[in-house]
């Protein structure tokens, strides 16, 4: 059994699945954002129709140099979309680091919290523990404004694996069941191209934590560095990176281009089965 518990949703991770990105920001680096609620909702529904298992709604950009969004604005952007999509029966994730937004999103029907700070804000763990939503714990070195200036690690895979193990243990201690936890090395968050490639190459080391691994590489600057393509022209690179992550054991792929990613996964799946998910922590429960 490889089931992620996410609110009312049981997400089958015996095969990789796709999380579609819904940015409702004015400065999201790769798709310009979709601030108009009707356009955002239509885009989310399109991604669901294309086969996205989860929609990840973000109201604050974490890109380097992005301006912070205040809580009231973030709530106003995110909550109505969560409500509308949850009403459709969708599995909705909310990309936020703010406990108040987490609480409101859960109240509006969200099934997952995607926190680039791995629930380290005071009260974030408590909000998650007081609900039944899934949590994605992501690694970031430094702060969004400065994280790409001089990222440095003695052992990038080992340090990130240890950080994720610590944050997962903090979740368990707070009362969050192992079956609700997802871990993510945080591609591009305080990492050079060399770091990102080392993490992707050795992603299996992260899967040995025993939690499902989420990988977000879609349109990221490392793919631009490899291909020489601008952000709007990284579809093929993104699909290749998502497939590489899935082959190495990632079970949730956070992408902009849902249909194309699902097609690539289908081709691989027709050739050979996916290896059994390493979700021993869930199986113990």
Which residues participate in catalysis according to the annotation? 220, 254
- Whole-number minimum distance, CB 74 to ligand 8Y7, in Å? 13
- Contact flag: residue 282 with ligand 8Y7 (CB under 6 A): no
Question: Of the two residues 5 and 139, which places its CB atom closer to ligand 8Y7 in the complex?
Answer: 139
Q: Using the rule CB under 6 A, give the single segment among 44-52, 119-127, 179-187, 200-208 that binds ligand 8Y7.
A: 179-187
Residues 71-100, interacting with ligand 8Y7 (CB under 6 A): 95
Q: Using the rule CB under 6 A, give the single segment among 41-49, 73-81, 184-192, 257-265 that binds ligand 8Y7.
A: 184-192
- Contact flag: residue 62 with ligand 8Y7 (CB under 6 A): yes
Place of tokens 């680091």: 97
Question: Of the two residues 187 and 211, which places its CB atom closer to ligand 8Y7 in the complex?
Answer: 187
Contact 149, 100 (CB under 8 A): no
Q: Which residues contact 63 (CB under 8 A, 6 or more apart)?
A: 27, 28, 29, 144
- Contact flag: residue 186 with ligand 8Y7 (CB under 6 A): yes
Select from 232, 216, 143, 131 the least CA-distant residue to 177. 131
Residues 103-142, interacting with ligand 8Y7 (CB under 6 A): 114, 116, 136, 138
Q: Provide the total of helices (H) and of strands (E) in the chain, helices listed first.
A: 11, 10
CB neighbours of residue 100 within 10 Å: 15
Residues 202-261, interacting with ligand 8Y7 (CB under 6 A): 214, 216, 220, 254
- Contact flag: residue 20 with ligand 8Y7 (CB under 6 A): no
Rounded to whole angstroms, how far apart are CA atoms 215 and 174? 25
CB neighbours of residue 192 within 10 Å: 17
Select from 177, 176, 178, 187 the least CA-distant residue to 250. 187
User: Can you say whether residue 71 is alpha, beta or left, with left for phi > 0 and alpha for psi between -120 and 50 degrees?
Assistant: alpha
- Contact flag: residue 58 with ligand 8Y7 (CB under 6 A): yes
Residues that bind ligand 8Y7 (CB under 6 A): 21, 58, 62, 95, 114, 116, 136, 138, 184, 186-187, 214, 216, 220, 254
């Amino acid at each position: 059994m490889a089931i992620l518990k996410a609110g009312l949703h049981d997400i089958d991770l015996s095969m990789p699945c796709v999380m579609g990105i819904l940015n409702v920001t004015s400065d999201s680096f790769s798709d310009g954002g979709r601030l108009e609620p009707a356009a955002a909702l239509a885009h989310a529904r399109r991604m669901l129709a294309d086969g996205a298992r989860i929609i990840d709604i973000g109201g604050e950009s974490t890109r380097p140099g992005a301006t912070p969004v205040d809580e009231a604005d973030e709530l106003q952007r995110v909550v109505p979309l969560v409500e509308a999509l949850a009403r459709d029966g969708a599995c909705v994730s909310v990309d936020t680091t703010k406990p108040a937004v987490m609480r409101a999103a859960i109240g509006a029907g969200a099934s997952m919290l995607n926190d680039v700070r791995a629930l380290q804000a005071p009260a974030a763990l408590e909000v998650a523990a007081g609900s039944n939503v899934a949590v994605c714990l992501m690694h970031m070195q430094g702060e969004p404004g400065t994280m790409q200036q001089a990222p440095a690690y003695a052992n990038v895979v080992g340090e990130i694996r240890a950080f994720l193990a610590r944050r997962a243990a903090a979740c368990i201690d707070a009362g969050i069941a192992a079956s609700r936890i997802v871990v993510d090395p945080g591609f591009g968050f305080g990492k050079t191209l060399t770091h990102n490639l080392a993490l992707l190459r050795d992603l299996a080391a992260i899967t040995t934590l025993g939690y499902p691994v989420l990988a977000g590489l879609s349109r990221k600057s490392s793919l631009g560095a490899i291909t020489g393509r601008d952000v709007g022209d990284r579809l093929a690179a993104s699909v290749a990176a998502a497939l590489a992550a899935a082959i190495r054991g990632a079970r949730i792929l956070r992408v902009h281009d849902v249909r194309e990613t699902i097609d690539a996964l289908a081709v691989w799946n027709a050739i050979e089965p996916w290896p059994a998910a390493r979700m021993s922590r869930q199986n113990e429960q």
